[in-house]
Amino acid sequence: MSIPEQLPADIVSCIIEQATSDEPSLSKLVRLSHINSVFAESCRSVVSTRVRSVIRAFMDDGVIDSLFETLENVHGFIGGSVALAVIEPGFFIDHPPRDIDIMTPSGTMTEWVAWCDSHGFVDRETGEVNPDREDSTKSILWVRMHNGTELKIHQSQSSSALLTLLSSNLTSQMNAISPFRIYCFYPWMTVNGISISCQGSPTTYDIDQLERRSIEYYWSTCLWNGPCGRGCPMIWHLSYGLEGVGTYEWSRRAHLSYDIFAETHLRWGIGDDCYNVHCPYRVQEID
Ligand SMILES: [Zn+2]
How confident is the model over 1-52, as pLDDT tens digits? Answer: 565 667 888 899 899 999 888 889 999 999 999 999 999 999 999 999 999 9
**What's the 268 CA to ligand 1 centre distance in angstroms?**
15
Residue at 249 is within a domain: yes
Rounded Cα distance between 282 and 276, Å, is: 6
Q: Taking the chain, what is the end-to-end CA distance rounded to the nearest angstrom?
A: 58
- Given a cut of 60, whether residue 287 has pLDDT beyond it is no
Single-letter amino acid, residue 144: R
CB-based burial label for 81 (10 Å; 0-12, 13-18, 19+): buried
Q: Are residues 117 and 195 in the same domain?
A: yes
pLDDT at 110: 97
Beta bridge partners of 216: 194
d(CA 287, ligand 1 centre) in Å: 20
Question: Quick one: 45 and 186 in the same domain?
Answer: no
In a domain, 153, yes or no: yes
Give the Å distance between the CA of 222 and the centre of ligand 1: 7
Q: How far is the CA of 242 from the centre of ligand 1 (A)?
A: 21
Q: Compute, in angstroms, the gap from residue 172 CA to the centroid of ligand 1.
A: 18
**pLDDT for 23:** 86
Please give the distance, rounded to the nearest whole angstrom, from the Cα atom of residue 196 to the centre of ligand 1. Answer: 12
pLDDT tens-digit map of 175-217? 999 999 999 999 999 999 999 998 777 889 889 999 999 999 9
* CA 254 to ligand 1 centroid distance, Å: 35
DSSP symbol at 200? S
Work out the mean pLDDT of the chain and round it to a whole number.
92
| 276 in any annotated domain | no
- The residue among 145, 144, 1 whose CA lies nearest residue 60 is 145
Domain count within the chain: 2
Residue 49 and residue 188 share a domain: no
Task: Give the distance (Å) from ligand 1 centre to CA of residue 278.
Answer: 8
- How far does residue 78's CA lie from ligand 1's centre (Å)? 30
pLDDT of residue 5: 60
pLDDT per position as a tens digit, 154-165: 999 999 999 999
For 25, residues 6+ apart whose C-beta sits below 8 A from its C-beta are 87, 88, 89, 90, 191
In this structure, the answer to whether residues 46 and 127 fall within a common structural domain is no
Tell whether 41 and 161 lie within a shared domain.
no
Dihedral sign (CA 172, 149, 119, 133) = negative
Q: Are 177 and 185 in contact, with CB atoms under 8 Å apart?
A: no
135 plus 151 within the same structural domain: yes
Give the residue numbers spanning the domain of 47. Answer: 7-55
Rounded CA-CA distance 106/158 in Å is 5
Residue 2 lies in a domain: no
What is the rounded CA–CA span in Å between residue 42 and residue 123?
Answer: 39
Whether residue 275 lies inside any domain: the answer is no
Tell me, yes or no, whether 80 lies in a domain: yes
Predicted TM-score (pTM) of the model is 0.94
Let me know whether 32 and 108 are in one domain: no
Shared domain for 162 and 224, answered yes or no, is yes
Residue 160 shares a structural domain with residue 263: yes
Domain check: are 35 and 126 in the same one?
no
Question: Are 123 and 172 in a shared domain?
Answer: yes
Q: What is the C-alpha to C-alpha distance for residues 146 and 138, in angstroms, rounded to an integer? A: 26
What string of DSSP letters covers 100-138? Answer: EEEEE-TT-HHHHHHHHHHTT---EEEEPPPGGGTTTEE
CA distances to 77, 216, 282 from 277, rounded to whole Å, are 38, 20, 7
